[in-house]
């Protein structure tokens, strides 16, 4: 068997290519956000350096959203 100097590169269309890690989301007090389930809101409080949870005011109610904020996006 031959050992190649370069590592194996998956093809761009391969279903087995390594997943790209998304950059972490950071929110600060006052940020406008949208949530898939709750809609538009504004960040009211941040727990821990923003890596634990955020409290968001969605108008009719406030929700505590925990990390990893997959359904919430900054506007």
The answer, yes or no, to whether residue 16 has pLDDT greater than 70, is: yes
Write down the pTM of the prediction: 0.71
Per-residue pLDDT band at 9 (split at 50, 70, 90)? confident
User: Residue 61: its pLDDT value, please?
Assistant: 95
What pLDDT, in 10s, does the model give residues 18-71?
777 878 889 999 999 999 999 999 999 999 887 889 999 999 999 999 988 989
Q: Which residues contact 69 (CB under 8 A, 6 or more apart)?
A: 25, 27, 54
To 5 degrees, how large is the angle CA 57–CA 33–CA 24? 120
User: Residue 30: its pLDDT value, please?
Assistant: 96
């Amino acid at each position: 068997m031959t050992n190649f100097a370069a590592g194996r590169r998956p093809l761009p269309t391969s279903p087995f290519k390594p997943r790209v890690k998304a950059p972490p989301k950071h929110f600060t007090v006052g940020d406008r956000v949208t949530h898939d389930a709750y809609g538009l809101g504004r960040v009211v409080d941040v727990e821990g350096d923003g890596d634990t949870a955020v409290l968001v005011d969605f108008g009719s109610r406030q929700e505590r959203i925990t990390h990893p904020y997959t359904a919430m996006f900054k506007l």
